[in-house]
Amino acid sequence: MRSPVCPKGAPVTDHPREDGFEATFVIRTPRAEAWALLEKAAPAHEALDPPGPGQRWLPGFEGAADDIEVVPGERLRARKATFPCQGTEIVVVLEDHGSGSRVTVVQTGFGDGFAKARAWLATGWAPIVADLAVYLERGVAPGRHLTAWASLGCDVTETPGGLEVSRVAPGGFADRAGLQDGDLVLRVAGAPVVDIADLAVLVRGPLRIGQESRVRYLRGTEVLAGSGTV
């Protein structure tokens, strides 16, 4: 997984775990100030529904949450109350680090199917952590995690050779472009694609709903190409 970079320039440290995601980063904001920012967080965009009575807003995750445990100035444990990843448990821990703070953030409780969805969820985790770092450092919510996703119209599985296609949905982009189960995706919208992280960038950018795009793929030993609308 590609790690985001916090505003100070120190890389985020990801801690692999079987039940979810965990990352640590350092900010220049003193712990008390970072906690105050966490307490007053609000939606990054006006289009988002504000938290309900008794709920709080989780910056980076950009969703309302119900408190489970709160240790003022040190630890927040809450359950996300909105889609996506509704019901997951999120923990934010603040520690003194020189004149700034060390922040550890954890998200768990994805339920059945997490192992299969991990690669896709990891592409969302990176902007969540980066947005949280920016917010706690600068008090600004970038909202990068909110970018809409287009659909390729099929499932893909990471293999040593790249992304292999399966379960092509009738009428979707993959179907229109001629993709079949077992095909190996090579390029999408002109960009080389090797893993889900590559594809995730494209489905949140160049691939726009209603716009025609091209795909190159390998079927057996033959390189083919097709196009269709997303």
Alpha-carbon gap, residue 88 to 68, rounded angstroms: 12
Last residue of a domain, one of 108, 123, 145: 145
Q: Is the peptide bond before 84 cis (omega within 30 degrees of 0)?
A: yes
pLDDT category at 10 given cuts 50, 70, 90 is low
Stretch (H or E) spanning 77: strand 75-80
- Look at residue 226 and tell me whether its pLDDT is greater than 80: yes
Mean pLDDT on 38-43: 96
Contact between 76 and 70 (Cβ < 8 Å)? yes
Domain shared by 72 and 125, yes or no: yes
pTM: 0.85
Token readout for 132 is: 């949280």
Percentage of residues in the chain with pLDDT exceeding 90?
Answer: 80
Alpha-carbon gap, residue 96 to 88, rounded angstroms: 27
Domain shared by 73 and 133, yes or no: yes
Total tally of structural domains belonging to the chain: 2
Last residue of a domain, one of 92, 126, 145: 145
Query: Is 3 a member of any domain?
Result: no
Mean pLDDT on 135-161: 91
What CATH number does residue 54 fall under?
3.30.530.20
Phi, psi of 13 (to 5 degrees): -100, 115
Q: Which domain holds residue 34?
A: 13-145
- Look at residue 110 and tell me whether its pLDDT is greater than 90: yes
State the sign of the Cα–Cα–Cα–Cα dihedral 53, 58, 89, 156: positive
Query: Is 84 a member of any domain?
Result: yes
Domain shared by 33 and 115, yes or no: yes
State the sign of the Cα–Cα–Cα–Cα dihedral 58, 131, 106, 199: positive
pLDDT attached to residue 144? 87
Beta bridge partners of 95: 102
Domain shared by 174 and 210, yes or no: yes
What CATH number does residue 199 fall under?
2.30.42.10
Give the type of residue at 77: R
pLDDT in tens, 68-95: 999 999 999 999 999 989 999 999 999 9
pLDDT in tens, 150-185: 889 999 999 999 999 999 999 999 999 999 999 999
State the sign of the Cα–Cα–Cα–Cα dihedral 70, 97, 34, 47: negative
